[in-house]
Amino acid sequence: LGIMAALVVDLHHHRRIIVRPQRELAKHMLTVFVLFLSGLLPWIDNWAHLFGFVFGLLIAIVTFPYLNFESQEKSRRGCRSSLSRRHLAIVTALVSSVILYFLLGYVYFNGIDVNCPWCQYFNCINIRYFTGSNHFCDNTGHKLSQWLPI
């Protein structure tokens, strides 16, 4: 989903030259929604989808070039204002991604349990009505090392 976030950032940067930017954004968001829905199945990690989207969004803000197709006759003050907003967005996204990277690394490597009562439903929803079993989400791949000789 990181590449989808990058496409959303690219769409935002070039919205003035795209014929129907709202329609294109709706298509992208529908795709993201379908991918998040697929994450409700076992063995597909929605947390990876979520943080892939967040990191893709932040890194795309930092790395994508911003092409300005407006007239060159704008005042220098207007250009500086736009440039300073762009620099502020880049610095904010870069700092946020570094903080989030180290925070997630700290949580992962120190074995901090961040489970909450609803977190299991973000990753897999038990659909007993369709499967006839209450064990649809029992093994979603998170306990793989317990039954593999690793």
**Where on the phi/psi map is residue 92: left (φ > 0), alpha (ψ -120 to 50), or beta?**
alpha
145 located within any domain: no
146 located within any domain: no
pLDDT in tens, 115-142: 777 777 777 777 765 666 666 676 655 5
| DSSP secondary structure letter of residue 132 | S
- What is the percent of the chain with per-residue pLDDT over 70, rounded to a whole number? 73
For residue 73, the model assigns a pLDDT of 47
150 located within any domain: no
> Residue 121 and residue 144: Cα distance in Å, rounded?
19
144 located within any domain: no
Residue 44 amino acid letter: I
84 located within any domain: yes
91 located within any domain: yes
Number of domains the chain contains? 1
Nearest to 121 by CA among 32, 1, 31, 39: 39
Q: Domain of 94?
A: 2-69+77-138
Q: What is the DSSP string of 84-122?
A: HHHHHHHHHHHHHHHHHHHHHHHHHHTT-----TTHHHH
User: Between these two residues, 87 and 123, which has the higher pLDDT value?
Assistant: 87
For residue 81, the model assigns a pLDDT of 66
- Helix (H), strand (E) at residue 37: helix 21-38
37 located within any domain: yes
114 located within any domain: yes
pLDDT in tens, 49-67: 899 999 999 999 999 877 6
